[in-house]
Structure 1
Amino acid sequence: MAKYRIHPLVVGSKRFDKSMMTHQFGYGKPYIIPIYCWYLEGGDGHILIDTGEMSPVQSVDRENDLGGPIHTFEQALASVGIEPKDVDAVVHTHLHNDHCENDYKCLNAEIFVHPLELEHIHDPHPLDYRYLEDCILDVEENGQIRTVEKDSQLFPGVRVIHTPAHTPGGMSVLVDTLSGTALITGFCVIQENLDPPREVRAMEMEVIPPGTHVNVYEAYDIVLKTRKMADIILPLHEPAFASGQVIS
Structure 2
Amino acid sequence: MFTIEPMVVAYGPHREKSRFTYMHNAGVAIDIPYVSWLVRGKDLNVLIDVGCSARDYAEHIRPKDRQLVHVGQVFADVVDVKPITEHLRDRGLAPRDIDFVVLSHLDWDHCMTMDPFTESTVYVQRREWETTPSHEMFATSFAPKEHYDKIAEGNLELLDGTHKIAEGLELILSPGHTFGGQSAIVKTSEGTFVIAGMCVLKENFYPTEEQQEHFKVIPPGGHTDLFESYETMLKLKEIGGDNVLPLHMSEAWDITRIGSPIGA
TM-score by length of 2: 0.83
1:45 aligns with: 44
1:136 aligns with: 148
1:225 aligns with: 235
Corresponding residue SS for 2:248: coil
Partners of 1:48 and 1:93 lie apart in 2 by 10
Corresponding residue SS for 1:53: coil
One-letter amino acid of the counterpart of residue 184, structure 1: I
Instruction: From 170, 189, 200, give the equivalent of 1:189.
Output: 200
User: Is the CA contact (8 Å cut-off) linking 1:164 and 1:219 kept in structure 2?
Assistant: yes
- Give 1:131 deviation, angstroms: 1.7
2:76 aligns with: none
One-letter amino acid of the counterpart of residue 49, structure 2: D
2:170 aligns with: 159
- Give 1:234 deviation, angstroms: 0.7
2:62 aligns with: none
- Give 1:185 deviation, angstroms: 0.1
One-letter amino acid of the counterpart of residue 155, structure 1: A
- Give 1:201 deviation, angstroms: 1.6
- Give 1:117 deviation, angstroms: 1.8
Partners of 1:156 and 1:244 lie apart in 2 by 24
User: Is the CA contact (8 Å cut-off) linking 1:113 and 1:148 kept in structure 2?
Assistant: yes
Partners of 1:86 and 1:56 lie apart in 2 by 24
- Give 1:20 deviation, angstroms: 0.8
Corresponding residue SS for 1:220: helix
What is the alpha-carbon root mean square deviation over aligned residues? Answer: 1.8
* Higher deviation after alignment, 92-101 or 216-225: 216-225
- Report 1:1-248 matches (<5 A): 3-15=1-13, 16-55=15-54, 70-121=81-132, 123-128=133-138, 129-132=140-143, 133-142=145-154, 144-202=155-213, 204-231=214-241, 232-248=243-259
1:61 aligns with: none
> Measured at CA, do residues 76 and 136 of structure 1 come closer, stay the same or move farther in structure 2, by a change above 3 Å?
farther
User: Is the CA contact (8 Å cut-off) linking 2:134 and 2:178 kept in structure 1?
Assistant: no
- Give 1:90 deviation, angstroms: 0.4
User: Is the CA contact (8 Å cut-off) linking 2:35 and 2:252 kept in structure 1?
Assistant: no
Q: How many residue pairs were aligned?
A: 232
Corresponding residue SS for 1:127: helix
Corresponding residue SS for 2:137: coil
User: Is the CA contact (8 Å cut-off) linking 2:126 and 2:159 kept in structure 1?
Assistant: yes
One-letter amino acid of the counterpart of residue 189, structure 2: L
> Deviations for 1:103-153, whole angstroms, at most 9, x for unmatched residues?
2220110000001221233x54212221213333223113x1011112121
Partners of 1:208 and 1:192 lie apart in 2 by 8
Partners of 2:29 and 2:248 lie apart in 1 by 15
> Measured at CA, do residues 230 and 124 of structure 1 come closer, stay the same or move farther in structure 2, by a change above 3 Å?
closer
> Which segments of 5 or more consecutive residues in structure 2 lack a partner in the other structure?
57-79, 260-264
1:65 aligns with: none
One-letter amino acid of the counterpart of residue 229, structure 2: A
> Which segments of 5 or more consecutive residues in structure 1 lack a partner in the other structure?
58-68
Partners of 1:41 and 1:158 lie apart in 2 by 10
Partners of 1:135 and 1:79 lie apart in 2 by 28
